[in-house]
Amino acid sequence: MPLYELKGEKPQLDKGCWLAPSAELIGDVVAGKNCSFWFNTTLRGDVMPIRIGDNTNIQDGSTLHGTHHRCGVTIGNNVTVGHNVILHGCQIGDECLIGMGSVVMDLAKIPSRSIVGAGSLVTENSEFEEGMLIMGRPAKVVRPLKSEELAFLKQSAQNYINYTKWYVDEIS
């Protein structure tokens, strides 16, 4: 399993978590139940802690890291972090979707039940209201989420719990 102890800290994963063979979790990383870490993801809890709630998926190619003596990464429950996302020293609330290729920088706060659109750049210290579609470079609020988009947020996290079962059954 690609878990690496560093400076006396070893990643701690709750029950039901799954790591792709090429995922790497290093140092002070703590994840809740039923999380998944997909191919070529890197979580570097070397300079600051990374905390992840239950039922959260970190998809292929994503990187999570903090800034030394400044800010770690905190992610809530039922969060989908899309492919090739960078989360750097930020906070992500519950039931969020961070779109593919997005970058969320130091001290930015994405509130619960929000979507960051694909390819967005959330700049340092950015804050938004809950339940919004946030997108652009730099990211701005585009509009409130529609009811079907809000319903999709939790479903997206559940989808990845289901996908994980295929991999556990066939390649783990």
Model confidence over 11-29: pLDDT tens digits? 999 989 999 999 999 999 9
Total number of domains in the chain: 1
Model confidence over 77-127: pLDDT tens digits? 999 999 999 999 999 999 999 999 999 999 999 999 999 999 999 999 999
4 has which bridge partners?
A: 26
Look up residue 78 and give its DSSP letter. Answer: S
Find the domain containing 164 and state its range.
3-170
C-beta of residue 66 within 8 angstroms of C-beta of residue 81? no
Q: Which pTM does this prediction carry?
A: 0.96
CATH code where residue 82 lies: 2.160.10.10
